[in-house]
C-alpha cells in the first residue's frame, strides 16, 4: 500500500466526532490538521489525537503542503466558499452534504476542480454501507424483478427539539429536503439510477421554531424555507419514486424506503445509517424474510467515502462523488422549483449509477 491520503478538517462542529471515529480506523487516510472559526473547538479536536494532529487557522490549513484533501464540515452556506479555496490551493475536497447551497455554486465547484485536476467527493457516504448496498445487490440480482416504484419517507417534528443551534436548518440551504433529502435521494439513485424529471409540492406551516435545549432554550428561530416537501421522482429507468420529507410530522409506520417490483417488495434500511436489515417479501410468500448481509463496507461510518476516494485515485471516480452529489442537489432544487410552479420540472443533470461495493472491511488491522 502507498502513502496515506493526508486529511485536513475545516469545521469542528457537532458532526466532526463521527468523522473522527472513522478516521481513526481507516486504512489509506491520515488526519494531520484541523481548523475552525472557533479556535478552541479546533484545539479540543487536536488534543483528542495526542499531539498527532495540529490545530491551525483555516487559511494555514488550506495552504499546508502536507494536506492532500480538505474535509469540509462547515455549515451549508459556506460549503462552496471553502471548497473553492481548497481547490485553488490544489487540494482534493470531500464535503458534507449538500455539495453547495445551490446548483449554480455546485457547478462552479466541480468546474474549478476539473480545471485544477483535483477530485471532489461529497456525503452522504451512508449508501456505501452494508444496509443500502445489500438492498442494491438484491435489486441487481433480480429479487424484486424490474423495479416499478419506490417510496421514501422521513418525518420528524424538527431538529430544534434537540439541536442547541438549529438556525441553519431553517435558513436557505436547510429544510428537510436539503438537510435529510440527500440521504434518501442518494439512496434512490444508488438503487434505481438517475432521475429525469420531478413533480412536487411543499408547505411551511409555522413561521418560527422554538429551541428546546441548550443555552438558547426558549429562543425562537425564524423559518424561511419549506418544512414539508413531497413529490414524485421519475427515474430514467422508468421507475417512479414517491418522496416525503418533513419537519412537521411526529412519527410514521412507513418504511424508510421500499422498492416494489413484479416479483417482490424490498424494505430498505434507514439511509441515514450505514447498516440495518434489508427485508424481502417475495410474490406468493407468507411473510417477510431478512436477507443476509452481502455487500458494502463492513462496520462503516461517516468518512468511509474519503477512504473510497483515496482508493479510487487516480483510476476511477469515487462512489460518493461530486458528480453524484450535484445530481442529487439538482433533483432536490428541481423538486422545490416544481413545488413553487405547480408543474413538472426536467432534471438537467445526469450521474451514472455508482459502482456497487463488494463486501469489504476497510478497518486497520487490530482496530
The tens digit of pLDDT for each residue in 23-81 reads 999 988 999 999 999 999 999 999 988 778 999 999 999 999 999 999 999 988 899 99
For the chain, list the domains and their CATH numbers. Answer: 5-122 (3.40.50.720), 126-295+330-346 (3.30.360.10)
Cα 145 vs. chain centroid, distance in angstroms? 28
Stated pTM of the model: 0.94
- Supply the pLDDT for residue 49: 84
CB atoms within 10 A of CB 250: 8
The mean pLDDT of 85-98, rounded to a whole number, is 97
- For the four alpha carbons of 334, 336, 339 and 341, in that order, the dihedral sign comes to negative
Helices (H), the chain: 16-25, 39-48, 58-63, 79-88, 103-116, 130-140, 175-179, 181-192, 304-312, 322-341
Q: Which residues sit opposite 33 in a β-bridge?
A: 8, 54
Q: Give the pLDDT score at 366.
A: 53
Across the range 187-191, mean pLDDT stands at 98
Q: pLDDT band at residue 198, thresholds of 50, 70 and 90?
A: very high
Q: What percent of the chain has pLDDT over 90?
A: 91
Distance of CA 276 to the CA centre of its chain: 17
For residue 277, what are the CA distances in angstroms to 45, 130, 142, 160, 294? 33, 9, 18, 29, 11
pLDDT in tens, 236-289: 999 999 999 999 999 999 999 999 999 999 999 999 999 999 999 999 999 999
Is 122's pLDDT higher than 90? yes
Does the structure show a pLDDT above 70 at 2? no
> Taking all residues of the chain, what is their mean pLDDT, rounded to a whole number?
95
Edge-to-edge, what's the strand order for the sheet holding 345-346?
289-290, 279-282, 264-268, 257-261, 149-155, 240-246, 228-235, 195-203, 345-346
Question: What is the predicted pLDDT for the residue at 291?
Answer: 98
Q: Strand (E) positions, the chain? A: 5-10, 29-35, 54-55, 69-72, 92-95, 120-122, 149-155, 195-203, 208-210, 220-222, 228-235, 240-246, 257-261, 264-268, 279-282, 289-290, 345-346
Residue 367 has a pLDDT of: 53
Q: Whole-angstrom Cα distance, residue 300 to residue 306?
A: 12
Helix (H, G, I), strand (E, B) or coil at 230: strand
Q: State mean pLDDT over 109-129.
A: 98
Higher pLDDT, 82 or 4: 82
Amino acid at each position: 500500500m502507498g502513502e496515506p491520503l493526508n486529511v485536513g478538517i475545516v469545521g469542528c462542529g457537532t458532526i466532526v466526532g463521527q468523522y473522527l471515529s472513522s478516521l481513526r480506523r481507516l486504512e489509506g487516510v491520515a488526519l494531520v490538521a484541523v481548523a475552525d472559526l472557533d479556535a478552541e473547538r479546533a484545539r479540543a479536536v487536536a488534543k483528542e489525537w495526542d499531539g498527532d494532529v495540529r490545530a491551525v487557522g483555516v487559511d494555514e490549513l488550506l495552504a499546508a503542503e502536507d494536506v492532500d484533501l480538505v474535509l469540509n464540515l462547515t455549515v451549508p452556506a459556506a460549503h462552496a466558499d471553502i471548497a473553492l479555496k481548497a481547490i485553488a490551493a490544489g487540494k482534493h475536497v470531500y464535503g458534507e452534504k449538500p455539495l453547495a447551497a445551490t446548483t449554480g455554486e455546485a457547478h462552479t465547484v466541480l468546474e474549478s476542480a476539473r480545471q485544477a485536476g483535483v477530485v471532489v467527493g461529497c456525503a452522504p457516504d451512508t449508501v456505501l454501507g452494508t444496509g443500502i448496498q445489500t438492498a442494491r445487490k438484491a435489486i441487481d440480482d433480480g429479487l424484486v424483478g424490474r423495479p416499478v416504484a419506490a417510496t421514501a419517507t422521513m418525518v420528524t417534528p424538527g431538529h430544534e427539539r434537540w439541536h442547541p443551534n438549529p438556525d441553519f436548518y431553517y435558513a436557505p440551504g436547510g429544510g428537510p429536503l436539503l438537510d435529510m433529502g440527500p440521504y434518501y435521494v442518494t439512496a434512490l439513485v444508488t438503487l434505481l439510477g438517475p432521475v429525469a424529471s420531478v413533480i412536487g409540492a411543499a408547505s411551511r406551516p409555522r413561521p418560527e421554531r422554538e429551541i428546546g435545549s441548550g443555552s438558547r432554550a426558549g429562543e425562537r428561530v425564524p423559518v424561511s424555507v419549506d418544512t414539508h416537501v413531497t413529490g414524485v421522482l421519475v427515474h430514467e429507468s422508468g421507475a417512479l419514486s414517491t418522496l416525503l420529507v418533513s419537519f412537521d410530522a411526529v412519527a410514521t409506520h412507513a418504511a424508510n424506503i421500499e422498492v416494489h417490483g413484479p416479483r417482490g417488495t424490498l424494505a430498505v434500511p434507514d439511509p441515514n445509517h450505514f447498516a440495518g436489515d434489508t427485508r424481502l417479501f417475495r410474490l406468493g410468500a407468507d411473510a417477510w424474510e431478512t436477507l443476509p448481509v452481502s455487500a458494502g463496507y463492513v462496520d462503516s461510518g461517516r468518512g468511509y467515502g474519503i477512504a473510497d476516494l483515496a482508493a479510487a485515485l487516480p483510476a476511477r471516480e469515487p462512489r460518493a462523488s461530486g458528480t453524484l452529489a450535484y445530481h442529487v442537489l439538482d433533483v432536490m432544487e428541481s423538486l422545490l422549483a416544481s413545488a413553487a410552479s405547480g408543474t413538472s420540472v426536467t432534471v438537467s443533470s445526469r450521474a451514472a449509477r455508482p459502482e456497487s461495493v463488494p463486501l469489504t472491511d476497510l478497518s486497520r488491522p487490530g482496530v
